[in-house]
Amino acid sequence: METQKNEFFTRNSELSTEFSKYVLEHPEMDDLLTEEAVVVFLPEFDAELTDFNLKMAKEIESEGGRVLYVKVKQMAPKIASRLVGVEVGGRDGITP
């Protein structure tokens, strides 16, 4: 059970990282985010994680907490790096 919770944590962390990038690109989202609300992801492409997150959200709400639900339809494939034209060398190894 603990291994599964760790897996859910990892999957939620990835969603959280991507959501942070999304919020930076969409500043209007800032108005919805408050310190009082817990962000809970509902990824349509991961039913197991959605079920887990819904249970967690219901617990938070039953204890009087606020939840901001974020439905995610899909995620684009990972991109290793956006760097282009990289040259690597020692101190004097790269000539401009």
> Would you say the pTM of this structure is higher than 0.75?
yes
Q: Which tens digits make up the pLDDT trace of 58-94?
A: 999 999 999 999 999 999 888 888 788 877 877 666 5
Q: Residue 12's pLDDT band (boundaries 50, 70, 90)?
A: very high
Establish if 15 belongs to a structural domain. yes
Please give the pLDDT value at position 94: 59
Residues of the domain holding 20: 2-72
Number of domains in the chain: 1
**With helix as H, strand as E and coil as C, how does 15-72 read?**
HHHHHHHHHHHCHHHHHCCCCCEEEEEEECCCHHHHHHHHHHHHHHHHCCCEEEEEEE
Decide if 84 is inside a domain.
Answer: no
